[in-house]
Amino acid sequence: METGHHQNRRAFLGRTGGIVTACAVAGLTGSGGTKASPAPGKPAAAEAETRSLTDQHYLLTNVRLEEGFAYDGDVVTATRTALHSLEIKAGKFVALHAADAVLPAGVPTYRANGQLALPAMRDMHIHLDKTFYGGPWQAPLPRQGKTILDMIAREERLLPQLLPTSQQRAEALIALLHSKGTTVARSHCNIDPVSGLKSLEHLQRALENHRDDFSCEIVAFPQHGLLHSKVDGLMREAMSMGVAYVGGLDPTNVDGAMEKSLDAMFQIALDTGKGVDIHLHEASPAGVAAIGRMIETVEKNPALRGKVTISHAFALATLAPGALAETASRMAAQGMTIASSVPLGAMTMPLPQLSEKGVFVMTGTDSVYDHWSPFGRADMLEKANLYAQLYRGSDEFRLSRALAIATGGVLPLDDGGKRAWPKAGDGADFTLVPASCSAEAVARLPERSATFHRGRMVFGSVGTA
């Protein structure tokens, strides 16, 4: 849900995107001495547009792509862009044509109207299976003074009410993700004594209905504790149903036996050849001990290398710089990753420090709207904006780099200002926004005008030729 202020602000940005962009890109679009391209904007009301684009082979003209950085000495001051035509076939970019190039004849053609193409967003920590979204407004009950076990008990009473419509609500969330430019996700799915495997079955049906427009890995998540709720058998059954990751939850605070809980989680992964993605909210000392135990386990089991994600990992924010550097280096050596919601709080997560040591950092929505929180917007671009604000990334270069946390590391320009995306052969997964460059998009959060997954338009509209 949005406040009226946010609705008005976003509507204003959408209406004035062309004006803002015209000021931002004047003299910078194109290359060399070429004339500045027209400012991007949505199609005028009189122009024909389409909301259905399923051609296997087509051209999307008038697409704004980033060309390089503009410098004052060694300081990046702006981003140069130019208009191109993207040729898309069988879900991939097959060619990038200059704006004045002769285009292939007989190929269906659509227009992006000067809007900027950004890589598709990736929501790498979301709960699609249990949500209030898609139903009537329902604020969470007060959490003050409630432990995680209290919240679990509350959820045990709530799940039977949510299960009958969980598939439909999951599909509503997928539509929301599409509207925010997201086409790839990793969803945690409850495996618990109350819902059994029903939440998983419903989520899989929802994903099957969207197999052509949305890619999603599933984590079997023992929300009520792997040991506490005695779901080892159900977890193993879930692994046989196509789940990609074994989940876990706070092995000390919930299961009451850190080593036993982690060992049980990793044993399921080793026995089934799956990865691991654990919720770890615990701070020091329990959380630090758990992270150490997990690193040791991966170091001793090469089969787990590159297959373990720690979600949240708040304990890392409690480490002194030297201990953090050592821990991050060990994690990076084992290919362990972090999934963070980029939280606000008394302790700021050391996400840049982790990245500097080679730990791959992802972000995700976590809860969009459920009995835990009503505040999620499912907007990964907003996460990049928050990342930039938290870690002092207000300049052109750092704003553009912040986008990486929302796109799985895919950026239009590399650190040296050379185009890294899109290239011929890349999957045609992207979103169109009324912005002059990725730095502006991260800072100003324009609405997404269209979203594409494997070349298929899954949200929004484009102009027709």
For the whole model, what pTM was predicted? Answer: 0.89
CATH 3.40.50.460 assigned to domain 122-378? The reply is: no
Q: What is the pLDDT of residue 338?
A: 98
30 and 36 Cβ atoms separated by less than 8 Å:
yes
Token code pair at residue 100: 């004045």
Average pLDDT over residues 182-186: 98
Query: For the chain, how big is the Rg over CA atoms in Å?
Result: 23
Domain ranges of the chain: 4-115+415-464, 122-378
CATH code, residues 4-115+415-464: 2.30.40.10
Average pLDDT over residues 352-359: 98
| pLDDT of 76 strictly over 50 | yes
Q: What is the pLDDT of residue 176?
A: 98
Mean pLDDT of the chain: 91
| pLDDT of 79 strictly over 60 | yes
Q: What is the pLDDT of residue 12?
A: 29
SS3 labels along 318-367 = HCCHHHHHHHHHHHHHCCCEEEECCCCCCCCCCHHHHHHCCCEEEECCEC
201 and 237 Cβ atoms separated by less than 8 Å:
no
- pLDDT per position as a tens digit, 273-314: 999 999 999 999 999 999 999 999 999 999 999 999 999 999
Kindly indicate the confidence band of residue 41, based on its pLDDT and cuts at 50, 70 and 90. Answer: low
- pLDDT per position as a tens digit, 96-127: 999 999 999 999 999 999 999 999 999 999 99
- Tell me, what DSSP letter sits at residue 225? -
| pLDDT of 258 strictly over 50 | yes
| pLDDT of 57 strictly over 90 | yes
